[in-house]
Amino acid sequence: MTRDSLLHILTVVCILSLITISSYLKAEPQHHNQANTMQLKTINDISRIELQSGEGTPEHAIIWLHGLGATADDFVPIIPHLGLAADRPIKFVFPQAADRPITVNGGMRMPGWYDIKGLSIQDKQDAQGMAESAAIVAKLIDELIDQGIPSTNILLFGFSQGGAVVYHQGLRHPQQLAGLACLSTYLPFAEDVATQASDANKSIPILVNHGSFDAVVPVSMGEASVATLKALGYSVEWQQYPMEHQVMMEQIEALGKWIDSIYQ
């Protein structure tokens, strides 16, 4: 098998995995009272979907980044299945990545937080694209703070490419955050974390989930990321699930319990 053929197969697997996530979740019944009226809107040049769980004025927020080729609504159906307490309103912000050419996919344009040039970790690190997307996350955090939500009540979630952006910005953000949840992803620019990380987020909780059978981002990349962070003194919780490059209901329920443990 040629290298180009292998790249094509893995790219198709990545796209099909993302479709599987959306299809699996959207097949579940919708109980969230805003899920069927959600709309993508652009504020401060950032397209996003904004929803709220619970009643009242939120003092907590979650920014959740989708993966390569997906859209802002990809993880919206998860909200009712997290089992979050109704008496703690949480604002959810699901930003939409801009379309960009993805080198590993023959230059095809698709929603992506940064370019991926090949299979190696070096080829998965696009400094310019990462900086642009990290700036979007920082801007969203500032928006939430302006709305009265303290940075210490803001969680960053991300899947695959979105998780890499969460790692990158979350570890470097100058204000303390509530925590990071990085799903089926890897730590980009790992060699720079020691010198670029912010002291404000050295002790925040970091949750890492990965599928044992992930063919898109091998579980070894997730494990290596955790080992790097632990060696640097970070508190990281690792959870591995019997799945591919996707999410599963057991994991979703555990994510809800983790959120409650952070916000209690």
Q: Which domains does the chain have, with CATH numbers?
A: 3-263 (3.40.50.1820)
Residue 189 has pLDDT above 80, yes or no: yes
Query: What is the per-residue pLDDT for 2?
Result: 36
Residue 39: predicted pLDDT: 84
pLDDT at 4: 37
Q: What is the mean pLDDT of residues 204-214?
A: 98
Q: Distance (Å, rounded) from C-alpha 171 to C-alpha 169? A: 6
pLDDT of residue 123: 59
Res. 40: pLDDT tops 90: yes
Residue 27, pLDDT score: 30
Residue 32 has pLDDT above 80, yes or no: no
Residue 97 DSSP label: P
Average pLDDT of the chain to the nearest whole number: 87
Of 60, 173, 210, 245, which residue is the catalytic one?
245
At 13 the pLDDT is: 37
Segment 131-155, tens digit of pLDDT? 999 999 999 999 999 999 999 999 9
Q: How far is CA 119 from CA 6, 215, 218, in A?
A: 10, 11, 11
CA 18 vs CA 39, 59, 77, 94, 126: distances in Å = 21, 31, 14, 16, 21
Beta strands in the chain (DSSP E): 41-43, 46-53, 60-65, 90-95, 99-102, 108-111, 154-159, 179-183, 206-211, 236-241
* Catalytic residue check, 160: yes
Q: pLDDT higher for 55 or 228?
A: 228
Of the ranges 37-46, 62-71, 110-119, which is most confident? 62-71
Tens of pLDDT, residue by residue over 86-112, are 899 999 999 999 999 999 889 999 999
Assess whether 45 carries a catalytic annotation.
no
The Cα–Cα gap between 232 and 226 comes to: 10
Identify the band that residue 7 occupies on the pLDDT scale cut at 50, 70 and 90: very low
- Looking at residue 61, its pLDDT comes to 98
List the catalytic residue out of 74, 133, 214, 225.
Answer: 214
Q: What is the mean pLDDT of residues 21-38?
A: 37
Instruction: List the catalytic residue out of 133, 160, 184, 225.
Output: 160
Token readout for 4 is 């180009």
Q: Which amino acid is at 250?
A: E
pTM comes to: 0.87
